Structure 1
Amino acid sequence: MAAPIEWSELPDIALIYIYYKVADQDRLSMALTCKNWHRLFSSALLWRHRRVVFNSDSAELTAEKEIQFLDKFGHCLNKLSINIGTPNFKTCMAISKAAETYVTRICGRNDIKLRELELESLHLEQNWRFVLSRNRLVTALCRMIRKQRRLQTIYMAGARMRMVDGCRVLEALVKGTNARTITNIYVEDFFETNVIPHRAQRYVSAISKFSSLQYIHINYKYLNGEVLRNFANKLGRKLESLSLILEGDIRGLEIPTDVWVEFAKQCPLAEVGMYLCTTILRGHDLRTPFVRGLPLNNVYLTSWSRADETEFRLAALLRHLGHLYNTSLESFAMFFEQHEHLDVELLFMLRRCRHLQDLSVLASISADTIIDIMNLQHQRLLALKSINLTISGLTDADWARIDAEKERLLATVGDFVYVGPSENDSSDSGSSTITLEDDGDAVHAVEAGDENIDAENAFAVQLNNIEIHIEDEDAIFGPLRNPYHDDDDNFLL
């Protein structure tokens, strides 16, 4: 047995990781422990990312503290996240002045070279009613952006800017070298709700000047034929992903088939994804933006309402997807809390889309549908690599039928390996997820998390490295992960 390692003998990377996990005051306390720990306190790795929050009650104090940080560690920064909170008519003046002071200090430093800039949900439409404060904030941000020369990722989702302010920010982004260095841009909900930006030539000109974009996250109604053609001509094979968010009334804003066909030819590596909330498009035909020629790879459907009256439209959409995108669709996700009678349409789409690799469904579907999906996968009529089904409303008899079908497949197929909870696992094991490990002949279920999950209502099977996970929605249900933005702060890993 190896001798225990003393704290003084920990490698630098381990200490830096511990530093990274604690607050600033705790980091300072650690630095006062010994010379070695004080040495690592100044490591550049420790200060790559900074998140600045201008709270309503302490905006000026925050600005002073963060300016002190810039003076000492500004040269280490790669990623900066700015959050201005939720100002009101009493605090927006103080917050805008504090943010302006902070940003001005960044502009005055030549050694701050940001790679990522994140403006966390500014919501200027909702929180900034006073023109003077809003203009001060936007002007300061534009000045800081123009100062940067190596930006690669810009996250401005949820900014909800006026047309003129949004164009100012975009023009600042494409000024100088940033137009050639920015590869990732998140501009969903960047403009006020009712703004159709592509009707203004100023916007079209600005958004078309990016020449190195690889990943674009943008609202569908921010695009038209001209913008999409400009993307295709400018980016070509550089573009890898175009994620489109559908919201509001898009009738009359449809991008024609010929534009999509031309885009697919010029950007053959680009994966196009559609993210659609059916609640927002209530009353409209969901098939409208899904035209022939669209190189659709990913579809994500969701709803906010438990009683969303969209069943008929959803059924028509699933059949529409199966007819038009049977050769291109690779990932499909559908998250609804209460929808009936979609089983036939879901199976129709799955049978048609032979290139589909990832399936995630949270909806009311029958046990027969689950069994059919398992059998289709077993018969190699589906090419799925991962299946995640979260279902509700099934009876004990339904679960028994599903389990019996699973056992039949296990008995008849040699390479169909069960990797779910064992027979001896307790249903009150206290785990939120079941991590699966195949240990030769023995298969174990590993517990993790703090919530409760009924092990009898969740199992996974695996066929040729294809994992199927099924769980009862009544046993575990939580907020869905935001598909639009993945903020990974663990830069040391």
Structure 2
Amino acid sequence: MPVNEVSINDVTFQFDCGENSLPGTSHQGNEFIDLEPFGELLCDGEEIVGVGEEEEEEKIHWDYIPDVILAKIASNLSQWDKSEMSLVCTNWKRVILRAPRLWRHRIIRLRGNFKDRRHVNYANILGRYLNRLHLSSGLRSLRHVRKFQRAFTSIFAELYRQKVQLKELSLTELKFHIHFRGIPGGRARQGIIRSARRFLGRQGKLHYLDLNYGGMTCEEGIVLLQAASEKSAKALKALDIEELFRPGAPIHQSSEFAATLPRFVNLVQLTMNYSALSDGLLMNLAEQSNGALEFLHVRCIRGENLNHIIGTPAWRAFSGTMSKCKVEFSLLGVIRLNDIQRVLTPQMPLHTLSVVGHNDDSFQPDRTLKYVSRYLNNTIEKVVIDVSPCYKLYGRGFIDIIRDSPKLKHLEVRGRLRWHIIHDVFEFLDINFVRRGLRPTLTTLRMLVTSSPIEPYEDEAFVVEEFRPVFSRFDLMYELVIEPMFFPLPLEFREPRRVHN
């Protein structure tokens, strides 16, 4: 049987042809073989080598990518990468710079140096596309306040000139009381307030306004709020004025502030400091608003003015109108029992309480829980206490808040527990819920127990393990975490060691 050999690129191919002609040949027998069917199998490096007429490879031109695909790719990139992408070619620049949805959101951090110029250029070229603007201060020196003010006013002058209507605006971390001091700082802050006031006065579609960490005087903060309420009084849904005013400012005594905030009649979410809360403000909110407020977050910071007390009648009038509103109090460093009792007025509609801070041997965890379970038990749903180091023990107050709070869903504490408390808690849940086939209202219980070598918690761990099938049955998030005690425990707080039989 005849065999033909063909050598291509130093590779020899043998073909057993037999007596018949091969498909693809133009002559009978084995005179020659058309290798076109085998062209895809012959490779020379990375290029495909074919036999017959050479075909030109089809070139892909990236500048002819459809506009929709280019815009989709650019939407997944950062602002800097989108700017770099627009420099590739004229077509890409046309597509990217003329796609409004790519430039709806801008984050600006002004530092008072030459880099701020790019933000001004952005406002000039693409500012008309903006829907959300987040501007913050990165000042590190008092020498740059004038440059900061010029960049700030230039940006908002461009947006004002183009009649931009924002939906979200954040002016945060300006910290006037730190960075804008003295005569130069006073002039700069006047220019900033004047520019921001003019721009806010034109905004009619603003849904979210964030002015936290402003450090302003009472007059400056009220001016901005009044400007925002001129056309966005009905549109604004969320307002954050946490630390808008400088520390120590008697804003709770201002009747003008109490009359300005209720102008936002459709407000859904409000975040503020306790120093700005007053009886007059709650009464005005109850009378003038539409009852749309669903979330009120009040932050109490150690060192601010906590001497005033919100009366129970004001809270009753507020809760009567704002029936859907959930009130949340965050106590940051406010751990003394007298301060907690002053801030948390009895019968107030409190839903969430968070106490966080460092203990200077003045925190009384058990008495704090007893106070909450006695005066705020009808509405409380979530309690988080994370104060360390915690010397004093949780006792009956831990059981009282679980037993007397029918709406309590989340309880998280850190500290030292008496050895029988955990057993009593699970016994109460077993008798009142599990044996009746009911799911406990308390769905999340987290106990972070600080333990020393003389305070073992083996028995408590066994109780949790015995109750674990109930966790899975009712989908409960209960956990006991034993963490080592890294601080020395004073002798007067130590309990006698338990003897295990």
Q: TM-score range by the shorter chain?
A: 0.7 to 0.9
State the partner residue of 2:475: 465
Gaps of 5+ in 2: 1-61, 434-439, 486-501
Alignment of 1:294 onto 2:304: no
Would the aligned equivalents of 1:88 and 1:127 in 2 still touch at CA under 8 Å?
Answer: yes
Gaps of 5+ in 1: 1-7, 418-462, 476-493
State the partner residue of 1:456: none
Higher relative contact order (CA 8 A, sep 6+): 1
State the partner residue of 1:393: 451
Would the aligned equivalents of 1:88 and 1:128 in 2 still touch at CA under 8 Å?
Answer: no
Which is worse superposed, 320-329 or 40-49?
A: 40-49
The 2-side partners of 1:27 and 1:78 are apart by: 18
Would the aligned equivalents of 1:32 and 1:38 in 2 still touch at CA under 8 Å?
Answer: no
The 2-side partners of 1:168 and 1:98 are apart by: 21
Out of 136, 139, 144, the residue aligned to residue 91 of structure 1 is 144
Q: TM-score, normalised by structure 2?
A: 0.73
State the partner residue of 1:142: 197
State the partner residue of 1:152: 207
Per-residue deviation at 1:95? 0.8
The 2-side partners of 1:33 and 1:56 are apart by: 31
Would the aligned equivalents of 2:335 and 2:362 in 1 still touch at CA under 8 Å?
Answer: no
State the partner residue of 2:293: 239
Which is worse superposed, 382-391 or 84-93?
A: 382-391
The 1-side partners of 2:130 and 2:464 are apart by: 52
Alignment of 1:322 onto 2:373: yes
The number of aligned residues is 410
Q: For the structure 1 residues 29 and 82, does the alpha-carbon distance in structure 2 shift closer, same or farther, using more than 3 Å as the test?
A: closer
Per-residue deviation at 1:30? 4.7
Cα shift readout 1:114-160 (whole Å, capped 9, x = no counterpart): 11111122211111102101111111111221121111111112111
Q: For the structure 1 residues 128 and 365, does the alpha-carbon distance in structure 2 shift closer, same or farther, using more than 3 Å as the test?
A: farther
Out of 401, 405, 411, the residue aligned to residue 359 of structure 1 is 411
Cα shift readout 1:273-323 (whole Å, capped 9, x = no counterpart): 11112x3565844211222331111111111x2x422223x4333211101
Alignment of 1:310 onto 2:362: yes
State the partner residue of 2:48: none
Would the aligned equivalents of 2:356 and 2:386 in 1 still touch at CA under 8 Å?
Answer: yes
Alignment of 1:69 onto 2:122: yes
Q: TM-score, normalised by structure 1?
A: 0.74
- Paired residue type of 1:190: L
Per-residue deviation at 1:373? 4.5
Would the aligned equivalents of 2:149 and 2:188 in 1 still touch at CA under 8 Å?
Answer: yes
Alignment of 1:346 onto 2:356: no
State the partner residue of 1:50: 106
The 2-side partners of 1:330 and 1:172 are apart by: 37
Would the aligned equivalents of 1:249 and 1:281 in 2 still touch at CA under 8 Å?
Answer: no
Is the radius of gyration larger for structure 1 or structure 2?
2
Identity across aligned pairs (percent)? Answer: 18
Q: For the structure 1 residues 163 and 36, does the alpha-carbon distance in structure 2 shift closer, same or farther, using more than 3 Å as the test?
A: closer
Q: For the structure 1 residues 139 and 320, does the alpha-carbon distance in structure 2 shift closer, same or farther, using more than 3 Å as the test?
A: same
Per-residue deviation at 1:46? 3.4
Which is worse superposed, 82-91 or 72-81?
A: 72-81
Alignment of 1:409 onto 2:467: yes
The 2-side partners of 1:16 and 1:396 are apart by: 65
Q: For the structure 1 residues 227 and 407, does the alpha-carbon distance in structure 2 shift closer, same or farther, using more than 3 Å as the test?
A: closer
The 2-side partners of 1:29 and 1:230 are apart by: 51
State the partner residue of 1:113: 165
Per-residue deviation at 1:406? 3.5
The 1-side partners of 2:221 and 2:233 are apart by: 16
The 2-side partners of 1:18 and 1:406 are apart by: 52
Which is worse superposed, 388-397 or 182-191?
A: 388-397
Would the aligned equivalents of 1:170 and 1:206 in 2 still touch at CA under 8 Å?
Answer: yes
Q: For the structure 1 residues 57 and 369, does the alpha-carbon distance in structure 2 shift closer, same or farther, using more than 3 Å as the test?
A: farther
The 1-side partners of 2:280 and 2:118 are apart by: 46
